[in-house]
Structure 1
């Protein structure tokens, strides 16, 4: 995936987070993570997570949701 595609994923995730109210509470971060898990392809999630884990810049709201999503993926791997 190109850098431009990653930028688009970040932008989309940030829009989802804003629409679902992330920043106000952990439940909103969970809703955003659930949305990404339900509606994004595994490749899209993996690319965004890899970008974030590698130090890529995302909003605080998206980082909160990605921590939640990352924990869900770790649980699924166990």
Structure 2
């Protein structure tokens, strides 16, 4: 994936979180953004965003960062 492609995914995810009210309720925006990404993004897109977050995630909004951390924690608990 090119830098431009990941930048586009980050921008889209951040916009989704903003539209779901990130500034009003961070947890709710993270939950609703996660649901949206699950419904409308391909698994490859979600995996690329998660990998980007694990590599530092520069530019991810607070809600997107939160949802990705929650997903990582959930996956760790399943695999332990």
Normalised to the residue count of structure 1, the TM-score between the two structures is: 0.82
CA-based RMSD: 2.0
Match of 1:14 in 2: 14
Aligned to 2:62: 60
Displacement of 1:62:
1.5
TM-score by length of 2: 0.80
1:9-38 CA deviation, whole Å, 9 max, x = no partner?
Answer: 000000000001124142221111111111
2:7 equivalent to 1:3: no
Deviation at 1:64, TM superposition (A): 1.4
Any stretches of 5+ residues in structure 2 without a counterpart? none
Aligned position for 1:42: 43
Larger Rg: 2
Structure 1 residues without counterparts, runs of 5 or longer: none
Aligned length: 77
